[in-house]
Chain A
């Protein structure tokens, strides 16, 4: 009997080690992709130049390189990583609390709400005396949270079972989709073009302000999410089971749902809705490290960042001189990764 105990300790330790290695590998891959993203672009830049311009800072001697790197590429690359990480994290939480592998941060209508907020803001113009580039993200953010509050209230009254959340979410989705279509219908052709461009989801809208906002939200939410790692894992054993392990399932689901809403709102409000990342990153994470959420959560965040940064690189390479919005590219960049995972990988250290 003691033998069995010692071997199990060793096996478990090996599993943990394998997962740590996987996490580290993902982090290194992300860094490499970030470097690749920084050197690609319409005006080109070698690794050596990149290194020089990075160390020279925003006020470097080579004004051109400094401007390209510090005002355009760096905020865009960092934003890609932050948005990808937020969506990956939110996606995994959503799939876990809804107990549904098809769920994503946008399942419950958050993207439609953000889209309507943005469309409305573009349609009415500078209403609050704010510049357009600031007003639109604020409108998208507020509208996303409004949609979340609506679903939250329903969950408070009716209980936070997955069916209740999904049904309320679908109602919200169609409601805001209609409003968004209405805004598009009423817009003039030029305004309509702006709205459609926002809806594509593009990193061109990234700036240091957006990096700060999205980064702050991620930094605030991340510890709160990680603190719940064991609760999320317990929830995967079934509601009844988790409840009998002493977890207040309804309250926990509502709280997680609000965190998902905050992460998603922060991710989409500047860049527009970028689909697919939040759906696929969690699947890759689970396949790589299994479902101990202490590892699955950070891995999903890293995978989201990796997919989006990779999409950014691909978007700049497809047609030289033009930058295709990442929202269009994510699936093209993400599907090969998913296929590779499905075909080759087993969860680290498990059989």
Chain B
């Protein structure tokens, strides 16, 4: 089973911010979308999720909207709800005048799986930005969508919680044979947790494939305009180490 999507071009005013492109993600896999700032990553994810009216056409399986979960970039809220109530909103369509105990249990279970049970009855507006971000991930996980799209889900998290979230997303995707697409800035983490990587620059796909092929020193130099050393961790995973004077690479294009 493979998830495939054809995306049309996208424009902001007259500027083309995304060229037509095609994406394929085998079931159970995580696709990482990487690229410099302004490359069109968020636009790509938003149009995949159908938030921006770009008419994402699906080939093969036509996924209904409620099977697509999307998490926007870091957000701040001052809503006066407990963490459990906020996570419960992930089941928005199913919530009625009474909250079903099963939904309540499911919400508590997601929190416990992310190690957030201790926050359950805290108010969301009292949480730190990173904690709010994890609540947002928990909302999406409660929906258990066939396709999960996350825009930098770890941007506000410390190393420990980055691992908690990414590890959980990866196993969850495998266990449910779903597909996950997420934008990440940390190339080493992207290499560690994504099965495939898609590099975007100026709205165009520069590379798309297994992480070892994509994460080369030359490609990072071309796309990010920095010179780095791609090393290998003990298990063979690519590790990106920038050079101290790595900015002196040619002119920015």
Q: C-beta contact mask, A244-280 vs B, less than 8 Å → 1, else 0?
A: 1111000000000000000000000000000000000
B85 at the interface (CB under 8 A from A): yes
Name the residue on A nearest B123 (C-beta). A350
Alpha-carbon separation in the docked complex, A196 to B183 (Å):
60
A329 smallest CB distance to B (angstroms): 29
Of the residues B89, B109, B136, contact of A233 by C-beta under 8 Å? B89
Interface size on A, residues (CB 8 A): 30
B105 touches A5 (CB 8 A): yes
Docked pose: A15 CA to B107 CA in angstroms: 16
- B62, CB-defined interface residue at 8 Å: no
- Asked whether A4 and B79 contact (CB < 8 A) given A240-B51, A240-B72, the answer is no
Docked-complex contact B80 and A347, CB < 8 angstroms? yes
Inter-chain CA distance A230–B86, complex, in Å, is 11
Known: A237-B86, A240-B75, A246-B65. A292 touches B112 (CB 8 A): no
> Chain A, 225-243, contact with B by CB distance < 8 Å: what is the 0/1 string?
0000011011011101101
Q: How far is the CB of B48 from chain A (nearest CB, A)?
A: 12
- Cβ of B77 within 8 Å of any chain A Cβ, yes or no, is yes
Interface size classification for chain B:
35 or more
Q: Which of B85, B90, B108, B122 contacts A245 (CB 8 A)?
A: B90
A1-36 contact mask (Cβ, 8 Å, vs B): 1 or 0: 100110011011001000000000000000000000
B80 touching A290 by the CB < 8 A rule?
Answer: yes
Where chain B touches its partner, the secondary structure class is: helix
**What are the residues of chain B within 8 A of A244 when measuring CB–CB?**
49, 51, 69-72, 140
A243: which B residues are within 8 A, CB to CB? 51
In whole angstroms, what is the CA distance A236 to B79 when docked? 6
Q: Quick check: B108 and A230 within 8 Å, CB to CB?
A: no
- The answer to whether A4 touches B108 (Cβ under 8 A) is yes
| Known contacts A8-B104, A244-B70, A244-B71; is-contact A236 B92 (Cβ 8 Å) | no
Query: CB-nearest residue of chain B relative to A229?
Result: B97
Task: Say how far A97's CB is from chain B's closest CB, in angstroms.
Answer: 14
Q: Are B112 and A1 in contact (CB under 8 A)?
A: yes
> Across the interface, do A238 and B84 meet the contact criterion of CB distance under 8 Å?
no
Q: Please report which residues of chain B, range 71-120, place their CB below 8 angstroms from some CB of chain A when the two chains form the complex.
A: 71-72, 75-77, 79-82, 84-86, 89-90, 92-93, 95, 97, 99, 101, 104-105, 107-109, 111-112, 117, 120
A240-B51, A246-B65, A351-B123 given as contacts; is B105 within 8 A of A231 (CB)?
no
- Secondary structure at chain A's binding surface: helix, strand, loop or mixed? helix
Q: How far is the CB of A8 from chain B (nearest CB, A)?
A: 4
- The answer to whether the Cβ of B186 comes within 8 Å of any Cβ in the partner chain is no
A245 to B51, CA, bound (A): 10
A286 adjacent to chain B (CB < 8 Å) = yes
Residue B24 at the A interface, CB < 8 A? no
Cα–Cα distance between A237 and B92 once the two chains are bound (Å): 12
CA distance A286 to B79 in the complex (A): 10
The reply to whether B123 and A347 contact each other, CB–CB distance below 8 Å, is yes
Contact B80 A246 (CB under 8 A): no
Chain B residues contacting A294 (CB-CB under 8 Å) are: 97
B105, A9: Cβ atoms closer than 8 Å = yes
The distance from the CB of B36 to the nearest CB of chain A, in whole angstroms, is: 22
Q: Which residues does chain A contribute within 8 Å of B136, judged by CB atoms?
A: 241
Chain B minimum-CB-distance residue to A237 = B77
Q: Which residue of B lies closest to A230 (CB)?
A: B95
Complexed CA–CA distance, A290 and B84 (Å): 13
Q: With a 10 A CB-CB cut-off, give which of B79, B111, B120, B122 has the most chain A CB atoms.
A: B79
A291–B81 touching, CB < 8 Å: yes
Say whether B79 contacts A9, CB under 8 Å: no
B173 at the interface (CB under 8 A from A): no
- In the complex, which residue of chain B has the Cβ closest to the Cβ of A247? B92
B25-66 CB contact bits vs A (8 Å, 1 = yes)?
000000000000000000000000101000000000000011
Partner of A9, one of B51, B86, B108: B108
Beta-carbon contacts under 8 Å, A325-351 to B: 347, 350-351
With CB as the reference atom, state the residue of chain B lying closest to A235.
Answer: B79
Ranked 4 nearest A-B pairs via Cβ: A240-B72, A244-B70, A8-B108, A236-B79
Could you write out 13 A-B pairs with CB less than 8 Å apart?
Answer: A4-B108, A11-B121, A236-B81, A237-B86, A241-B75, A244-B49, A245-B90, A245-B92, A286-B80, A290-B82, A291-B81, A347-B80, A350-B82
15 extra interchain contacts, Cβ-Cβ under 8 A, other than A237-B86, A238-B77, A290-B85? A4-B108, A8-B105, A9-B104, A9-B105, A11-B120, A15-B82, A238-B76, A241-B136, A243-B51, A245-B89, A247-B92, A286-B80, A290-B82, A292-B85, A350-B123
